[in-house]
Chain A
Amino acid sequence: MSVSNIDWSEIGQATIDTLAMLGGSMVLTIALGLPLGVVLFLTGKGQMLENRLANGALSLLVNILRSVPFVILLIVMIPLTVALVGTSLGVAGAIPPLVVGAAPFFARLVETALREVDRGVIEASFAMGAKRRQVVLGALLPEALPGLVAAATVTAVALVSYTAMAGVVGAGGLGDLAIRFGYQRFQTDVMIVTVVLMLVLVQALQMVGDAVVRRVSHR
């Protein structure tokens, strides 16, 4: 085992693929998960759009998606992925299952972050003559911002490990490299390098996330 065995250009490409999967799926996860989490919160008991039926249906959907192990989701999603992006392979093929796996998770975290917002602030906003939309956009979401950023950080870290699993179905990236070279060809050095890279990635995400939370939190 020696460092010279490592094909660095392959590792570079895998890193880029992982970052592309992460970036693409993160953007879509937030785009889908944030509204879903807001609706989950607003239709909840005692909230401004309380609706047991809608809340129950959404909650069930989220729970179903969250209870499917991601490896299974990857495989089950293949026909849908092909229909959506034309392939189930590569970075593009990985993004739909990543989003479907992460968005419900993120939505639950969003719901929890919104619950942390002081009800008095919401009441005060209504007392000032705010419309519901103004309360949500002007008070609820800004007040929950530190919690929302923390939720996005946790989700991004979870997505890193999801991208590794996506490697199993031909998505490429660092996880794929670790399996193909490290596991199947017994190139332990390649595996170590990929694991270290993922560790660095996770650490960087967490540090950036924490820094942003500190920046936006004024409690």
Chain B
Amino acid sequence: MIAFEAVSKTYAAGGNAALSAVSLSVQAGEVFGVIGASGAGKSTLIRLINGLETPTGGRVVVDGDDVAALGVDGLRALRRRVGMIFQHFNLLSGKTVAQNVAFPLKLAGRPAAEVTARTAELLERVGLTAHADKFPAQLSGGQKQRVGIARALATGPKILLCDEATSALDPETTEQILDLVSGLNRELGLTIVLITHEMDVVRRVCDRVAVLEAGRVVETGAVEDVFLHPASDTARRFVREADGEPAADAALTGRVVRLTFRGEATYKPVLGEVARTTGVDYSILGGRIHRLRETPYGQLTLALTGGDIGAAIAQFQAAGVRVDDLSGETAR
């Protein structure tokens, strides 16, 4: 649905690149997250998809069209197929909720009767029918983002771009908005690209994620893999921020391992069983049990002492638990 082919973007001639040789592909119907610190190039990346920015190298292909090769009319047609929501909502302050939602339809020159009907339908979907005649300043942040979502959906797009859409919201509202966004993905089959600096957002709604660092993609993969087994330092840092995973203490004795349980294994009493049969003692250094969208998972960091540690590890692996030996990684 969306492909980045060695895309680069440099703002000032001779200046630093905002993006360097970024290649990505987003499949139709998936929720694709891009995570990165501020200044990593996330906003530039998402704006290349609807042509708000143009690449200085490479190609961005969206829904079969090379964005940079589209003419003015082609680009406007593409933008009607790509909705966008923003961190600060960017609603028109002088227009009511209903007028804001109707705005893209009016821009597209749709007949008045259709505009009215479609606006009512969209407000219903985001649960704002009662607020149709209010102005944005009279709404809460979550309500404003709902208006933003309704407006982005007005022209019936196939793709929804979320530019830090929950970064200005409190945790509870963030959850509601993310639920709404996931619902759109499931019910309308929307392809969603979201950029964020919060791993938590990625964990809740994304299927796949790309990790951006200083304009380069340092890691891409299924959210489960990147979240549980981050390969890059950047990804590890985001995961640790999300979970507060403790660093191993140098004073520890024994072998430090991290166990990852996924799916059904999460609920089995594996740990006690292994300890009993192999005579290994364990102390728990840290752990987390959570959900990645629908999949439950658990991760435990243990120090193993005594008994047959090798057998214990083999038994964990046989039970479907992934074991990472952290003894060599003191700096974690």
Contacts and interface: CB of A to CB of B under 8 A. Distances in A.
Given A120-B86, A121-B90, A218-B93, 11 more contacts: A118-B90, A121-B92, A124-B86, A126-B52, A128-B103, A128-B107, A128-B154, A129-B79, A134-B107, A143-B93, A145-B94
B93 A219 contact: yes
A134 B80 CA distance: 15
Contacts of B155: 128-129
Nearest to B94: A142
B247 interface: no
Nearest to B108: A129
B88 interface: yes
A130 B84 CA distance: 13
A128 B90 contact: no
A131 interface: yes
Which 6 pairs from chain A and chain B are nearest by CB? A124-B90, A129-B79, A120-B90, A218-B135, A128-B104, A129-B76
B137 A131 contact: no
A130 B137 contact: no
A140 to B, nearest CB: 10
B157 to A, nearest CB: 10
A168 B90 CA distance: 51
Interface string A112-143: 00000010110111111111001000110011
Nearest to A144: B94
Contacts of A120: 86, 88, 90
B185 to A, nearest CB: 19
Contacts of A145: 94
Interface of A: 118, 120-121, 123-131, 134, 138-139, 142-143, 145, 216-219
Given A127-B84, A130-B107, A218 B90 contact: no
Interface of A is mostly: helix
B151 interface: yes
B100 to A, nearest CB: 10
B92 A139 contact: yes
Contacts of B84: 124, 127-128
B88 A218 contact: no
Given A129-B107, A134-B107, A139-B92, A218 B137 contact: yes
A127 B127 CA distance: 24
Interface string B255-274: 00000000000000000000
B196 interface: no
Contacts of A126: 52, 79
25 contacts: A118-B90, A120-B90, A123-B90, A124-B84, A124-B86, A124-B91, A125-B107, A126-B79, A127-B79, A127-B84, A128-B80, A128-B151, A128-B154, A128-B155, A129-B77, A129-B80, A129-B108, A130-B76, A131-B72, A145-B94, A216-B94, A217-B94, A218-B93, A218-B94, A218-B136
Contacts of B95: 142
B137 A127 contact: no
A217 B94 CA distance: 7
Contact of A138 (B77, B103, B137): B103
Contacts of B92: 121, 139, 142-143
A143 B94 contact: yes
A138 B108 CA distance: 12
A128 B83 CA distance: 7
A123 B43 CA distance: 13
B57 to A, nearest CB: 23
